[in-house]
Amino acid sequence: MELSYFHSARDFPKGFVPEYAVVTDVLRATTTISCALENGAEAIETFADVDNLIKRSQEWPSFSRLLLGERGGKKIEGFDLGNSPVQVVPEIVKGKRLFMSTTNGTRSLHVVQTAGCLYTLALPNRRAVAEKLLSVEPRQLCIVGSGWEGAYSLEDSLAAGALISFLLDHSSKGIHVVNDEVIAALSIWKVWQNDLEGCLRKATHGKRLESLGNHDEDFKCCARLDNLYVVPTQIEPGVLSAA
């Protein structure tokens, strides 16, 4: 397996179409996606542009849709929910189509939506995603972080390193490391693997969330490891479903 990691959508090579891609946005989009699908959401449609989201959502029956979104960490005005994994509980999301736009994560999903196969990664579903990848042993895998408005984010590299570590430990066919970002992410994982919530809070985006109010439950949820069994999988461009 040829393995590479890119810190954000901005770093991803233009025009490149990977065989397999994994997108992570630990705080909080891909954690929210994993929790929503684990809790019975029918599917999640992701949008970089809010106007496109609203237009598309209006094609869906009002009783079976929810609008999720944030800008700068704050819920978009008029939306049903923000971008919190603890809000997408079964009694709210079960059986519904979620229409989602976030500051960073949905942009990374958009840039690799032409991949042969696309999954999303958070710390809670790390093992599920890793085992799915190991079952197919793709020739090529690109992990893409989301960063913050194009800049590097510590927490996404932590999640990438968590996945990389699992793959290295369990791959039967071997892994070829393509770029130094893979090695750096693995190093971050080794430093912080016993204090995941501490890493999330230390990150600049974690501090940004803390400045917006009490997000303790979000931090706890995003820092849990291997407690979800869902593998959010793109079933058509921009649409994710449980696998």
Q: In the chain, where are the structural domains located?
A: 2-241
Rounded distance, CA 223 to CA 6, Å?
A: 21
Q: What would the pLDDT profile of 184-205 be if each residue is shown by its tens digit? A: 999 999 999 999 999 999 999 9
β-bridge mates for residue 233, sequence order: 119, 241
- Give the burial string for 174-212 (b: 16+ CB within 10 Å, else e): eeebeeebbeebbebbeebeeebbebbbebebbeebeee
Residue 150 has a pLDDT of 80
Sheet strands side by side (includes 65-71): 74-75, 65-71, 97-101, 43-46, 239-241, 233-236, 117-121, 20-24, 140-144, 2-6, 176-177
Strands 2-6 and 140-144: parallel
Residue 106 has a pLDDT of 87
Residue 199 has a pLDDT of 98
Residue 201 has a pLDDT of 98
Backbone dihedral angles phi then psi of residue 219, each to the nearest 5 degrees: -60, -45
Tokens 């994560």 label which residue? 105
Tokens 């979620």 label which residue? 98
Rounded distance, CA 98 to CA 33, Å?
A: 9
The CATH code belonging to domain 2-241 is 3.90.1560.10
User: Which of 160, 145, 144, 153 is CA-nearest to residue 208?
Assistant: 153
Alpha carbon of 134 to those of 55, 141, 174: distances in Å? 38, 11, 11
Residue 218 has a pLDDT of 97
Residue 149 has a pLDDT of 81
Residue 179 has a pLDDT of 97
Segments in the chain below pLDDT 70: none
Tokens 């960073």 label which residue? 104
Question: Which residues are CB-contacts of 231 (< 8 A; sequence separation ≥ 6)?
Answer: 119, 125, 128, 129, 132, 242, 243
Q: What would the pLDDT profile of 47-77 be if each residue is shown by its tens digit? A: 989 999 999 999 999 999 999 999 988 999 9
